[in-house]
Structure 1
Amino acid sequence: MTDAPMPDGLTPERLAYVEQVANFWQAGGLGHAAGAILGYLTVCEPAAQTQAEIASALGLSAGTVSTQLRTLAGVEMVEKVRRMGVRTHFYQLPQDMWVRLIGSEDRRIAGLRELADAGIAVMPATRHDRIASLEQMVRFFEHEWPLLSKRLEEFLRKEAS
């Protein structure tokens, strides 16, 4: 493949990357369109794009893009930004979004702790593993996640210097 830009500004290689990201997130439970938007916002120039630009580049309907942008903004994977003197909203990945996303695991682990504790209170008579395995996994991450988070912070600090 050549590196020549396509009419929408994407090279074939970048478009293939967008599809790879879309497939990754789709396999993880996110919609294909949401994954494609994440992939596109990872490699597009400029980094902030309008809803119409995203829809055009990806061949998606305005409604699909609007719905998926709301979903992605709700989980802080996309942010809406304004430009002075421009009425249109632009969308981009937040600064250091991937690091922040991993950092939000503390909240997820705490939420899973609440679910495990509530499940223990209503433990079914059969197949205790349905709750016991959740509680066991939560205990593991409660112990290991702070250690891993600290190592990540140290790594990022070294990378920045």
Structure 2
Amino acid sequence: MGLLLMVIFAVTFATRSVTQEENGMLDLLLAQPIDRKSPLTQRFAALAVQITVVTSVLALSVFAGANSGGLDIAAGRNVTASAGLGLLALLIGAITLLLGAATGTRPLTLGFAALVAVAGYLANNLGGMFDGGEWLRKLSPFYYANGHSPLVNGADLGHLAVLVALAALVAAAALAVFDRRDLARGARGEQTLPAPVFPFLPDERDTRPMTGHGTRPGGHSRTVGLRRGFALVLERMGLVRMTGRAAGWLLICDPPEQTFAQIADALQASKGSISKSLKQLTTMRWVDKSSKPGDRKDYYSIRPGIMPELIRAQSSQYTDLTAMTARGLALFDDPHGAPAERVRDIHEFFVWLSKEMPALVDRWYAEHRS
């Protein structure tokens, strides 16, 4: 029973990474300035810590039960058996992480992880039921955990070393797969072309003719480089990457008005992350949300002339900064001291900027309309 519970615990805990990807939390997490592999590394480390705690409690429980029942179980053998059980759970958890990193979907991860666990259990047990079946047992991680009967025969450090090595190799493979997979499409089992070297340029490696929606047969978009580049630029400006991807798609999509379902299909991301991104874009007034008579769906589109409007709106911020630095200058007893000169330099720049920016926007409109 303890073996079964440990395996179930490892699989359930390791599957949470896939759950984060499906509900959009992983998109938000990876938009922060952290290493891409960090969430999976931390998940594996947390799994190892929790398995250590559980196996320690299990070893203490067995030791206490043996003492109360008058059973002669050596403490070293008890620790060895618990360690084998913990390393088995860690290996199963690492395999689950690898499956989650490869598929990106919770049902597939749980299904394949359960298949691996059941197959390993059957191989270990069935291999001992007929002559010449020892080779089958050695293919199962369960054999290296308790095939030597550590409570009876003591420790087999070679078996424990095999479990440690396998867990490390599988965890490294999970990190490599996770680092290479396009998370935006992984939840639906689709693959995208690798990002071009210059993200703002179209991906010229595929020269098949495009459809009217700017995509090639098979769903690969020629404008994926532009969308990725736009997302990275907005991320450097402090926005979540998914917000940039949504804005980039609305910038180049055809038709320009898109429903939520169309945006989700184009970006191949979770509905939760897309919903948050569209809400942020509409709040920032980058995107208009509209409806059509007789149609219950909402439509999203990039606001025409949004950039000049945003620049003009920022002029009021420059005016506020001018007023703030003017109040700061009035606080100095020595108006010609070094601190005052630094504030004055900023103040004069904002005075100049608050005058020039509206004029610059007006000049743009005049030249653009002509």
Change (3 A) 1:7 1:117: farther
**Residue matched to 2:245:** 36
**Residue matched to 1:154:** 366
- The one-letter amino acid of 2:301's match is Q
Distance in 2 between the 1:111 and 1:71 partners?
24
- The one-letter amino acid of 1:15's match is V
Distance in 1 between the 2:244 and 2:342 partners?
30
- The counterpart of 1:144, out of the listed 348, 356, 363, is 356
Residue 130 of structure 1 and its aligned partner are, at CA, apart by: 7.5
Scaled by the length of structure 2, the TM-score of the pair is 0.37
- The one-letter amino acid of 2:232's match is N
- The one-letter amino acid of 1:135's match is H
Q: Is the 8 A contact 1:79 1:94 kept in 2?
A: yes
Query: Residues 100-151 of structure 1: CA distance to partner in whole angstroms, max 9, x if unpaired?
Result: 223323233234334435655777xx96678555423311202322332332
Comparing 104-113 and 62-71, the one that deviates more: 104-113
Aligned-partner SS, 2:295: coil
Aligned-partner SS, 1:82: strand
**How many corresponding residue pairs?**
156
- The counterpart of 2:270, out of the listed 24, 41, 61, is 61
Q: Is the 8 A contact 2:312 2:357 kept in 1?
A: no
Aligned-partner SS, 2:242: helix
Distance in 2 between the 1:50 and 1:7 partners?
22
Q: Is the 8 A contact 1:42 1:93 kept in 2?
A: yes
Q: Could you say what the CA RMSD is over the residues aligned between the two structures, in angstroms? A: 2.8
Comparing 41-50 and 54-63, the one that deviates more: 54-63
**Residue matched to 2:307:** 98
Query: Residues 1-36 of structure 1: CA distance to partner in whole angstroms, max 9, x if unpaired?
Result: 234324796x53212111111111112222211111
Comparing 21-30 and 104-113, the one that deviates more: 104-113
Aligned-partner SS, 1:87: strand
Q: Is the 8 A contact 1:8 1:56 kept in 2?
A: no
Gaps of 5+ in 1: none
Aligned-partner SS, 2:233: helix
Gaps of 5+ in 2: 1-205, 333-337
Scaled by the length of structure 1, the TM-score of the pair is 0.78
- The one-letter amino acid of 1:110's match is T
Distance in 2 between the 1:112 and 1:72 partners?
25
- The counterpart of 1:135, out of the listed 347, 362, 366, is 347
Distance in 1 between the 2:356 and 2:216 partners?
46
- The one-letter amino acid of 2:286's match is M
Aligned-partner SS, 1:13: coil
Residue 39 of structure 1 and its aligned partner are, at CA, apart by: 0.6
- The one-letter amino acid of 1:141's match is L
Change (3 A) 1:140 1:52: same
Q: Is the 8 A contact 1:8 1:57 kept in 2?
A: no
Q: Percent identity?
A: 25
